[in-house]
Structure 1
Amino acid sequence: MNPDDLKNIAKLWFKAFNEHQLENLLELYDDNAEHFSPKLKIREPKTNGLIKGKDSLRNWWKECFERLPTLQYEVNKLTADSEQVFMEYTRKVEGEEDLLIGEVLEIKDGKIIFSRVYHG
């Protein structure tokens, strides 16, 4: 895919996430998508940080949106090639310190097939 198309998918991702529009967010993912996050390792240790499939993603983000109703991501930078987009953003939650995050979305046929989150 064209790098600009991948950046547009990332922009749709941020819009859906920041509006806490769970189904719009999930629509961007392949049915068998995988997601890795250090937060998963902490909150759900049995996953070892990795979940698979839209149902798992739905459960993860539903709980996240309910637990953190003020959660917002502020985009700092998007960098894309023909297969993936790197997103650098700041996680903002009322009452918490801001957290700089890097995330890679691997995209195939217009759908996210794998996402990986990195932060300290």
Structure 2
Amino acid sequence: MMLENEAIAKKWFEAFNSHNLDDLLYLYDETATHFSPKLKIRKPETNGLIKGKSELRIWWNDAFDRLPTLYYKVTSLTSNNNRVFMEYVRQVENEEDMLVAEVLEIEAGKIIFSRVYHG
């Protein structure tokens, strides 16, 4: 299970870094919830929390459109039976690198909840 969850995390980074929205969303449950400080800033009405694949699609599609050079450099992956803790560096051309940690909660091979923390 731990190796399976780590494989999901690696697929997550591959999809994210190639800005492949369909591959990224495939990893999520239909009712998945996502929390991000960036979401709270850009869409204050959400209070940082969105739910469901359609909201995830809108959020990441906007990010990929606005930030064509957005890239996550993995620094650490730690997994157990139901979650993966990911540490990475958020890189965008002409912006300062940002340290990020993210937790993916996984059930039956799909991400059900993700939480982002900024360093």
TM-score normalized by structure 1? 0.98
How far, CA to CA, are the matches of 2:19 and 2:118 in structure 1? 21
Deviations 1:62-104 (A, max 9, x none): 0000000000000000000000000000000000000000000
| Mapped pair 1:59 → 2:58 | yes
- Kindly report which structure 2 residues correspond to 1:30-41, keeping only aligned pairs within 5 A, or say none: 30-41=29-40
**Corresponding letter in the other structure for 2:64:** F
* DSSP-derived class of the 1:87 partner: strand
**Corresponding letter in the other structure for 1:34:** T
The percent of aligned pairs where both chains have the same amino acid is: 64
* DSSP-derived class of the 1:34 partner: strand
How far, CA to CA, are the matches of 1:69 and 1:63 in structure 2? 10
- Kindly report which structure 2 residues correspond to 1:15-34, keeping only aligned pairs within 5 A, or say none: 15-34=14-33
Deviations 1:7-63 (A, max 9, x none): 000000000000000000000000000000000110000000000000000000000
Which residues of structure 1 form unaligned runs of 5+? none
For residue 99 of structure 1, what is the aligned residue in structure 2? 98
How far, CA to CA, are the matches of 1:101 and 1:5 in structure 2? 22
**Corresponding letter in the other structure for 2:86:** M
Count of residues in Structure 1 that have an aligned counterpart in Structure 2: 119
TM-score normalized by structure 2? 0.99
Deviation at 1:117, TM superposition (A): 0.1
For residue 8 of structure 1, what is the aligned residue in structure 2? 7
Runs of 4+ residues deviating >3 angstroms: none
Q: CA RMSD in A?
A: 0.4
